[in-house]
Amino acid sequence: MNKLLHSLGLMVALATTSMLAGCELYFGSHDHNGGSTWNYCGADGYYQCRGDSCTWVSPTCPAGGQGGSGYECTSSTDCAAGCYCASGTCEEGGFCATDSDCGPGYHCNTDRSSCEPNGGSGSGSGSGSGSSGPTSCDYDNQCPTGQYCEYDHVCVATCVCSNDTQAQQQGWGWCDETRMTCLPGNDPNGSCGGAIASSCTTLEPRCPTGQVPVIFDGCWTGTCRAYAQCDVPPVCENINDEPDCLGRTDCGAVYTGINCHKSDGTACHAGDTGCTCSSYQFSSCAAKQ
C-alpha cells in the first residue's frame, strides 16, 4: 500500500493533527528532493520511503528504535518533529513556530519546528544542531539553564526563573538566580515568606527598619533581609516600615496618635472616641480585611 507524502511539511502536519503516540524516531536521510531511501515511524506503523513515495511495511516499528517509554537517540535530529533528545530518549516538547509557542524553560528550534529545553545548542535562531545539553553530571552548574543535576547524575529539565516567586508559580520550590533555574526543595539561603512550624524554637528577630526576618524550613533563621531583596513578598505583619507597607495593595498601615485629646481637653485613652491628635506615627503593618 503506497502513500504519497508530498513534502516533509505535510508529514509534520499529519503528525500534528493525528497526535502521534509518543516521540517517533526517524532513520536515515530526509532528503525527499531526489530518490534517496529513508524510513520513519508513523502513528499507524513503520514506513519505507524513496523520495516522496512511502510504503507502509508493518504496524510496529523496529525494536532497535525504541528504548524505555520513548525512542532512542543521540541528538534531537534523531527524533520526530515536536520531540527532542534527552538522556538518549526522544521526549515530547511540542510543535512551534516561535519561542512563544513553547512553555517556560523551552525555546523553538525553527529548523525542526520543535520546542527544546533552553541551554542546548539547537536554538530557535536556526542552528538546528538539536543538542539537549549534557546527559550526565555531578553538579548543577554542569547542566544547561533550566535543568539541574538529579540524584542519578542526569540533567533534568525544570524551568527558567529570575526569583523564587516565578519558580513557585511553575510548581517548583525556589529559584537559583545565578543560573536562572527552578529547583525543588527550599532555598538554602532562606526566604522572606513561608509558614512557621509549631516546633520552631528560634525567636523571631527584631529587624532594622526596612528589613524583614528570614525563614528557612519552617523556622526563623535569626537573620534579616532588606525588603527590596526579598525572594517572595513577606506577610504584611513582618513589614516594619511605612513605604513598603503602603506599597502593598493587600496591606494597611496602622498608626499611633501623638498628643491626642478629647473635646474637653483631657487626654485620650484606649477606647475613647472623638479624639484629636496633633500627629500620627507609623506603628505596624497589617493585612487588609
Strand partners, 117: 106
Rounded to 5 degrees, φ, ψ at 205 are -75, 155
Q: Are 233 and 225 in contact (CB under 8 A)?
A: no
**pTM to 2 decimal places:** 0.45
Who's near 288: CB < 8 A, 6+ residues apart? Answer: 236, 250, 251, 252
For the chain, the domains span: 2-65
Residue 131 clears pLDDT 60, i.e. is over it: no
* 65, 253, 261, 275 from 91: Cα distances, Å: 14, 51, 73, 70
Residue 66 region by backbone torsions, left for phi larger than 0, else alpha for psi between -120 and 50, else beta: beta
pLDDT in tens, 207-240: 999 999 999 989 999 999 999 989 889 999 999 9
- C-alpha cell at position 113: 519546528
Amino acid at 275: C
Query: How many Å apart are CA 37 and CA 57, to the nearest integer?
Result: 14
Q: Taking residues 40-57, report their average pLDDT.
A: 67
Least confident stretch, 41-45, 46-50, 118-122: 118-122
Q: Quick one: which of 165, 126, 161 has its CA closest to 146?
A: 161
Query: How many Å apart are CA 274 and CA 289, to the nearest integer?
Result: 24
- Per-residue pLDDT band for 22 (boundaries 50, 70, 90) equals very low
Residue 139 clears pLDDT 80, i.e. is over it: yes
Q: Taking residues 253-259, report their average pLDDT.
A: 91
- C-alpha cell at position 188: 538554602
What pLDDT score was predicted for residue 121?
A: 37
What pLDDT score was predicted for residue 192?
A: 93
What pLDDT score was predicted for residue 239?
A: 97
> Mean pLDDT over all residues of the chain?
76
User: Which secondary-structure segment (H or E) carries 92?
Assistant: strand 89-92
Indicate the DSSP class of residue 208: P
